[in-house]
Amino acid sequence: MYEQIARNKRRTFLMLLGFVVLITLVATAIVLLFGGGWVGIVIAFVIAMAMAWGSYYNSDKIAIRASRAVPADEVEYRRYHNLVEGLCIAAGLPKPKLFIVNDPAPNAFATGRNPKHAAIAVTTGLLEKMNRVELEGVLAHELSHVKNYDILVTTVAVTAIGTIALISDIGLRFAFWGSMSGRRDNNGDSGPIGVVIAVASLAVLMLAPFAGYLMQMAMSRNREYLADASGVLLTRYPPGLISALEKLQDDHAVVHNATKATAQMWIEQPLETDPKKQGSKFNNLFDTHPPLEDRIKRLQEM
């Protein structure tokens, strides 16, 4: 398991590099589509790097705001704070900032760029429906994401995927209205090469958001299995997390403020509403999380 953690840390760097490359490709496609030269491409690369740097430092704040989470009062949510403090001592982690999402659906997520700048958010539904050992299992799972540095790549993915989708959509809209108005650009006057560049640029703009989602899904599934196992090692009580996952499996409520961009951050698929999808490999192909029944089965075998 420790080898898997080290491997995931290396993959984290590659994933972050992949998002930078994807943003650069999208920005470059827009520049080429509208007749920009090498100067425009360099500017696009600089913009992509600046956005990646901004995502690194601010994506956790964006994720918290997107979920409409508020700080968890230490008096009102004393059990929540006590459990996290005890688990942090056992794991050798600094206590993260704790937040509450006012939502009846039971769920939770961790965010931040490293253990020193981490945050955990749980829904009011989770606090109401989980007993102490179940809640401890869920919190241990989220702290495992913090300890394994999963939070960095999943948090950056929130802003990266949103950025890719936004600038791709803007580029396609400008290209559509430009063609409708009969506008001719530099690519249109450069013969077959210009046509190839235009077609390739449009293809990048259309496929980039899909590629971003594929990267998001690829980085989420194995990390969930690993966080389950790490969380159980932290609590030394597998039945706690197993029982929590069984309750999540039986509850089909959705998190109202969850989006496709933030879906991979939650402990369970926050947008899933069709229980018939469980167990179908084809239907679950585009889920950010492995099926809960598979996660429960793995924990039962530990």
Active site residues: 142
Q: Cα(281)–Cα(285) distance, rounded to whole angstroms?
A: 6
- CA torsion sign, 259 to 243 to 250 to 99? negative
Helix %, strand %, coil % of the chain (to 5): 70, 5, 25
Which two tokens mark 97? 């900032």
- Paired with 112 in beta bridges are 118
Q: Cα(167)–Cα(143) distance, rounded to whole angstroms?
A: 34
Q: Cα(182)–Cα(195) distance, rounded to whole angstroms?
A: 15
Question: ∠72-132-259 over CA atoms, to 5°?
Answer: 50
Which residues make Cβ contacts (< 8 Å) with residue 174, sequence separation at least 6?
A: 30, 34
CB 106 within 8 A of CB 269: no
Closest CA to 254 of 231, 275, 283, 223: 275
CA distances from residue 286 to 1, 203, 216, 283 in whole angstroms, order as listed: 26, 21, 10, 7
* CA 93 to mean position of chain CA atoms: 22
DSSP SS3 for 77: coil
CA distances from residue 159 to 51, 57, 289 in whole angstroms, order as listed: 9, 11, 19
Residue labelled with tokens 């389950």: 228
Residue labelled with tokens 């919190």: 139
